[in-house]
C-alpha cells in the first residue's frame, strides 16, 4: 500500500498552526494574555496575519492542553493558571527520575550509560570559573541533564514519557533560571548528584535530586505569582490611562 504524501499547502498550514500555538502559549505563560482574557478567532488571525484554519487548529490544541476554554457565543477565554496541574507534572517527573537513579546506582550501567554519565560529569563537575552564568543557556543544559539521566537508565518508554513531561512544563520551568543564586545552585547540585551516582550512593542521590526538583517547583510557583501580579497591575494602569469617552456604549447596553 502506498500512502499519499501531504500537499505543500497542508504542510505549510500545519507549520503555521504550530507557530501560532507556540506564540499564544508563550503569551499565556508570560502573562501577556491574562487569565480571563477573551478573544475571537478573527482577532488572532488578524494579529498573526493568518487564515482562520491554522488559528483554529492552534486554539483547539491549547484547549486540549488546558490553557483555553471555548465560551458560548463569546469566543475563547484564557483559563485560570492551574498550579495543581503543573505540580502534578513535576511530581511525575520526580517518580521517573527516582527510578532512573535506582537503575543507575544498583545496576550495571552499559557502555551507552557510562558514556552519558561521563559526558554529564565533564559538563557539570567543573570549577566555578568555567561555569556559564547565562540563564537561558543553563536552562537548556539543565533540561538536557535531567533527560540524559533518564535516558541512561535504558528504558525507552520512561525516556519518552519524561521528555513529554519536560516539554509540557518547559515554558514555566525556565522561570527558575532568572536569578544568579538559582544558577549557582543548579551547578552545585548537578555536580553532587553525579558524584553520588558514580559512587553508587542511591539514597544520597535520590534525596538530593528530589530536593533539587522540589526547590525548582517552589521557585517557579513564586516567580509565576509575582509575574501574574505585575501583569495585572500593568493591565489596570493601562486601563486607567485610557481616557473615558462620554458617549461610549457599555457592553451591557448593547442588544
Is the pLDDT at 248 greater than 70? The verdict is no
- For domain 12-80, the question of CATH label 3.20.10.10 is answered with no
pLDDT band at 7 (very low <50, low <70, confident <90, very high): low
Query: Parallel, antiparallel, or unpaired: how do β-strands 75-78 and 68-71 relate?
Result: antiparallel
Provide the pLDDT for residue 245: 47
Provide the pLDDT for residue 254: 35
Per-position DSSP letters for 37-68, written without gaps between them: -EE-HHHHHHHHT--HHHHHHHHHHHHHTTSE
Provide the pLDDT for residue 246: 44
State mean pLDDT over 25-50.
89
pLDDT band at 168 (very low <50, low <70, confident <90, very high): confident
- What's the rounded Cα separation, in Å, for the pair 166 and 216? 13
- Indicate the range of 82-91, 127-136, 142-151 predicted with least confidence: 82-91
| Contacts of 139 by beta carbon, 8 Å cutoff, 6+ apart | 173, 174, 176, 177
Q: Is the dihedral of CA 148, 153, 155, 161 positive or negative?
A: negative
- E strands along the chain, which residues? 38-39, 68-71, 75-78
State mean pLDDT over 92-110.
95
For the chain, give the mean pLDDT. Answer: 88
Provide the pLDDT for residue 242: 63
Q: Which position has the higher pLDDT, 38 or 29? A: 38
Provide the pLDDT for residue 128: 96
The cell for 169 is: 512544563
Q: Is 31 left (phi over 0), alpha (psi -120 to 50) or beta?
A: left
Listed by start position, the domains of the chain span 12-80, 83-228
pLDDT band at 1 (very low <50, low <70, confident <90, very high): very low
Provide the pLDDT for residue 243: 61
> For the segment 115-145, what is each residue's pLDDT rounded down to a tens digit?
999 999 999 999 999 999 999 999 999 999 9
Topology classification of domain 83-228 = 1.20.120
Provide the pLDDT for residue 73: 76
State mean pLDDT over 72-97.
90
> Do the domains 83-228 and 12-80 match in fold?
no
Which of these, 218, 123, 146, 231, lies nearest to 176 by C-alpha position? 218
pTM of the predicted model, to two decimals?
A: 0.75
Residue in the block written with cell 527510578: 99
Which of these, 57, 59, 22, 20, lies nearest to 39 by C-alpha position? 59
pLDDT band at 10 (very low <50, low <70, confident <90, very high): low
Amino acid at each position: 500500500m502506498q500512502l499519499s504524501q501531504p500537499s505543500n499547502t497542508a504542510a505549510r498550514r500545519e507549520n503555521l498552526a504550530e507557530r501560532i500555538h507556540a506564540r499564544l502559549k508563550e503569551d499565556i505563560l508570560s502573562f501577556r494574555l491574562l487569565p480571563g482574557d477573551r478573544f475571537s478567532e478573527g482577532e488572532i488571525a488578524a494579529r498573526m496575519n493568518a487564515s482562520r484554519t491554522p488559528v483554529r487548529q492552534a486554539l483547539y490544541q491549547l484547549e486540549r492542553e488546558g490553557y483555553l476554554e471555548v465560551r458560548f457565543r463569546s469566543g475563547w477565554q484564557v483559563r485560570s493558571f492551574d498550579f495543581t496541574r503543573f505540580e502534578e507534572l513535576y511530581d511525575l517527573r520526580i517518580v521517573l527520575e527516582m527510578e532512573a537513579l535506582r537503575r543507575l546506582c544498583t545496576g550495571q550501567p552499559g557502555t551507552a550509560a557510562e558514556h552519558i554519565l561521563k559526558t554529564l560529569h565533564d559538563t557539570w563537575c567543573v570549577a566555578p570559573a568555567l561555569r556559564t552564568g547565562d540563564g537561558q543557556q543553563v536552562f537548556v543544559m539543565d533540561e538536557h541533564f535531567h533527560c540524559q539521566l533518564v535516558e541512561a537508565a535504558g528504558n525507552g518508554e520512561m525516556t519518552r514519557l519524561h521528555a513529554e513531561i519536560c516539554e509540557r512544563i518547559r515554558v514555566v520551568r525556565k522561570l527558575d533560571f532568572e536569578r544568579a543564586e538559582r544558577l549557582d545552585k543548579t551547578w552545585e547540585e548537578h555536580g553532587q548528584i553525579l558524584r553520588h551516582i558514580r559512587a553508587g550512593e542511591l539514597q544520597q542521590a535520590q534525596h538530593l535530586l528530589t530536593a533539587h526538583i522540589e526547590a525548582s517547583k517552589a521557585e517557579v510557583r513564586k516567580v509565576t505569582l509575582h509575574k501574574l501580579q505585575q501583569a495585572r497591575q500593568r493591565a489596570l494602569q493601562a486601563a486607567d490611562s485610557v481616557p473615558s469617552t462620554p458617549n461610549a456604549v457599555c457592553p451591557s447596553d448593547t442588544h
